[in-house]
Structure 1
Amino acid sequence: MLKKFKTGFNRLFGSKNDGQLEFRCRNVKVKGYEYLFVRAVVPDIPEILDIERAVYKGQTPWNFENFEAQIREQERTLYLVVRHNDEMVGFAGCDMKYATYEAHITNIAVLPPYQNLGLGQMLIKTLIDEADKRGLRKVSLEVRQSNVNAHEAYRFAGFVDRIVKKDYYTDSPEEDAIEMVYSINANKRKERMTNGRRQKSHLGL
């Protein structure tokens, strides 16, 4: 009984000593490209800002202090950077909200030459897997209503629309955001069903 209580308490509130947000660097191959996925550290921020400028037409929606606060909050947030041949080519971050069993993706960006090569999808999958490991049930994010390509990419990854947030983006002009959510358990069931059908087809059943 005490063990169950401790498990539930740590899942809700986290613990400095439970290693919940530990992330081991890993090599990942996506469509023939070799990438290194590592946890972000504060010295990475200038390169992260360079990626923001490349993606957002010279703008930096988040500044140095915003990223620093997120990266230093290691008990609850997980920020990853991706390198290819020692060049940072993408990053993503999420906030693990244990009280609501939901992870929220706060940022994701990939350098233009590396877009549409599967790297963004792999970053999303990695964050979903990390949320799943920590017992969370959903992953959410926001996307600009005008960003049709990103909206479709998130749908392809398994996200569905949840609500529209009016005037969420306050830059000029103001724009609504679509909040999307990914159900970890529901997508696991879909994956099991798909794999089951493939196995039956392979066996000729």
Structure 2
Amino acid sequence: MSMTPMLKKFKTGFNRLFGSKNDGQLEFKCRNVKVKGYEYLFVRAVVPDIPEILDIERAVYKGQTPWNFENFEAQIREQERTLYLVVRHNDEMVGFAGCDMKYATYEAHITNIAVLPPYQNLGLGQMLIKTLIDEADKRGLRKVSLEVRQSNVNAHEAYRFAGFVDRIVKKDYYTDSPAEDAIEMVYSINANKRKERMTNG
């Protein structure tokens, strides 16, 4: 007997909230993406990618690695609710990004995004953000959130350009010395879809 629309809707909602043993890992098909004349390959991260990911962290964060090998390994291996992507140009890793799909709250949370300095301000960061937003949208999530250092004006403006708005300030969120507040930002998928429809007529 076929499933009624109401029952089908209930089952979909239940699986989003509590997960399903048959769901398996989040799917992501590798793809070639062209951004401002550059050809990139977007692929799902695997554990052997972590040394290169750490190299990008050091290049972006002045020799520091805010996340260590074990942090990235845990995220990359958690493939049912976490999506980590790496970007390659001419076989060199030039960027990465990751997010947690929080089905219970219908919100994805971007945990990391970084681009090698020579490839910054070329649209790659915006494309990574857009890709994660699209993946969250495909899975029925309604919002995408992230944190940014209060002092990181350039990143804050980049996220605003992408459609994020400030939600709250998290006091002393970054615990390195000296401690620093974080601005939590959020992107509303449905609201931005409406804006796009209005803009495009």
Quote the Cα distance in structure 2 between the aligned partners of 1:54 and 1:45: 14
Q: CA deviation at 1:20?
A: 6.4
Normalised by the size of structure 1, how large is the TM-score?
0.93
In the alignment, is the contact (CA less than 8 A) between 2:83 and 2:100 conserved in 1?
yes
Number of residue pairs the alignment of both structures matches = 195
Q: CA deviation at 1:50?
A: 0.3
In the alignment, is the contact (CA less than 8 A) between 2:25 and 2:79 conserved in 1?
no
Query: What RMSD in Å do the two structures reach over aligned CA positions?
Result: 0.9
Moved more, 127-136 or 16-25: 16-25
**Are 2:43 and 1:38 aligned?**
yes
Q: For 1:132-157, what per-residue CA distance to the aligned partner results, in whole angstroms no more than 9, with x for missing partners? A: 00000000000000000000000000
Quote the Cα distance in structure 2 between the aligned partners of 1:28 and 1:15: 32
5+ residue gaps, structure 2, are 1-5
Give the secondary structure class of the aligned counterpart of 1:164.
strand
Quote the Cα distance in structure 1 between the aligned partners of 2:18 and 2:133: 20
In the alignment, is the contact (CA less than 8 A) between 1:162 and 1:180 conserved in 2?
yes
Q: CA deviation at 1:19?
A: 5.0
In the alignment, is the contact (CA less than 8 A) between 1:104 and 1:139 conserved in 2?
yes
Q: For 1:40-99, what per-residue CA distance to the aligned partner results, in whole angstroms no more than 9, with x for missing partners? A: 000000000000000000000000000000000000000000000000000000000000
Moved more, 146-155 or 3-12: 3-12
Give the secondary structure class of the aligned counterpart of 1:190.
helix
Quote the Cα distance in structure 2 between the aligned partners of 1:119 and 1:27: 13
Q: CA deviation at 1:166?
A: 0.3
Structure 1 residue runs of 4+, over 4 Å off?
none
5+ residue gaps, structure 1, are 196-205
Aligned sequence identity (%)? 99
**Are 2:149 and 1:149 aligned?**
no
Counterpart residue number, 1:200:
none
- After superposition, the Cα gap between the structure-2 partners of 1:20 and 1:190, relative to the gap in structure 1 and judged at 3 Å, is farther
